[in-house]
Amino acid sequence: MVGDLVRESALAGRVVLWEESARDGAQGKTLMSAGFRVELAREQGWIFGADGPRHVVFAAGFPAVCAEEFEAVRRVAVETEGAVSVAAVCRGRAADVRQAITSVKGTAHARIMVVVPASEAMAQVMTHGSARDALVGAVGLVKEAKGLDDTVAVDVCLADASRADHELTAAYAATLTETGAGTVILADSVGHQLPADTATMFGRVRGAAGDHVVLASHLHNDLGLGLANTLEALRAGVRVVSASWLGIAERSGMVATEQLLFLLAHRPDAAAEFLGAGADAWWTAPDLTRLPGIARRVSAETGVPLSVTTPIVGSGVGTISTGTPFVHPRLFQPFDPEELLGITPDVVLTHLASIRVVKAVAARLGHELDDARAKAAMRWVKTWAYRTGRAVVPDDTFAAYLDGVCATVTGER
């Protein structure tokens, strides 16, 4: 069998991102075209250069949905070969497992992820049996999958692991690994965990399962704790972590890829808080300047907006609109957006503008204002904003005002 790069990376202490925007993102009422999935997988792999397959598992889709979805997964597997590790996701049924393998078969670093229930409640809904029976069945599916094609890595996602018995989960995580599973993914399927609960779950399961088991996280964001819970998983020793661009996933989504990756990569001392002192998270350090562009393309494809308050990649990053931040911008920023993300700082004119801000925007538009005209312009800006109910004064609107003022001063009208 060809080596499992994801297991190798995790066991070496490197971080692997399990990208869910094309798969779980579909449950967030979005649909990525096959072509865009290919583009996104390539772009995400290139963040890590030649080590893309070691740092990114791209969940390409759910082949059993329909013929079009199968073909989309197949295209990603074939056309992004060498850029990332591609995974097809399937239910815990023999026919679905065979179909998933077919969708990625014959490509480098191919994987499938089999979803099975871990809690009693979820087992009753998904398999009409007990959790133990579902886990026994999962062992059989891993055996069957490895017998069909030993070059395709098999991962098992334990749905609703957050409400499952930790001892049972650990026992079968070990058995699944010994049977041939690459990773065992513990899912907070309903997004109800608090950080302490996450730490307990991963700590207990990892401690009881053994060091040969590679655990992964799949944590939803229904309480707004997806990022905090993922960090707790990392603190507990997990190195394969699920995320999704812009946080797109079922219901309230999951941790955003761009936020998690930036947090772990922009400051080694900050990452050490979760990964441990001296931890080396990357084979190749990620190129963070790629994050804003990828996020914009995902937004355009899915219709999920980037807002002014979206962390890391939102339109507010690198913008200044008030006096003190204009004079001392580093005092109000946790990082340099230009240095780390390639985002050029921008001064935005709003109803909160100081004279310094007004002068700076005017200069950018080709007008040098003395104090008197700057004060008059500042009054005009505030009046315009409150009259229109819009905080930001567009450049062309302010330029028209300035052109009129300058024309009046020079006697042109």
Locus of tokens 């200069």: 363
Quote the pTM value: 0.91
- Cβ 37 vs Cβ 75: under 8 Å: yes
The per-residue pLDDT for 413 is: 44
**How far apart (Å, rounded) are the C-alpha atoms in residues 41 and 81?**
10
The per-residue pLDDT for 1 is: 43
The per-residue pLDDT for 234 is: 97
Question: Whole-angstrom distance between the N-terminal and C-terminal Cα of the chain?
Answer: 81
- Stated as kind and residue range, the H or E segment containing 158 is strand 153-159
DSSP 236-273: TT--EEEEBGGG-SSTT-B-BHHHHHHHHHS-HHHHHH
Along the 413 residues of the chain, how does pLDDT read in single tens digits? 458 999 999 999 999 999 999 999 999 999 999 999 999 999 999 999 999 999 999 999 999 999 999 999 999 999 999 999 999 999 999 999 999 999 999 999 999 999 999 999 999 999 999 999 999 999 999 999 999 999 999 999 999 999 999 999 999 999 999 999 999 999 999 999 999 999 999 999 999 999 999 999 999 999 999 999 999 999 999 999 999 999 999 999 999 999 999 999 998 888 898 999 888 999 999 999 999 999 999 999 999 999 888 998 988 887 877 767 766 667 677 788 888 888 888 888 999 988 999 999 999 999 999 999 999 999 999 999 999 999 999 999 999 999 877 666 555 44
- Cβ 292 vs Cβ 313: under 8 Å: yes
> Between vectors from CA 240 to CA 239 and to CA 246, what angle results, nearest 5°?
120
CA distances from 75 to 37, 39, 47, 91, 129 (A): 9, 11, 21, 21, 36
- Cβ 214 vs Cβ 184: under 8 Å: yes
- Domains defined for the chain, CATH in brackets: 5-302 (3.20.20.70), 318-413 (no CATH)
Q: Centre a 10 Å sphere on the Cβ of residue 371 and count the other Cβ atoms it contains.
A: 9
Buried b or exposed e, range 205-237, using 16+ CB within 10 angstroms: bbebbeeebbbbbbbbbbeebbbbbbbbbbbbb
The per-residue pLDDT for 278 is: 86
Helix ranges, 210-343 (H): 226-235, 257-265, 268-275, 291-302, 323-327, 337-341
Residue 97: exposed, middle, or buried by beta-carbon count in 10 A (0-12, 13-18, 19+)?
buried
CA distances from 116 to 5, 325, 413 (A): 23, 51, 76
The per-residue pLDDT for 221 is: 95
Locus of tokens 């017998």: 147
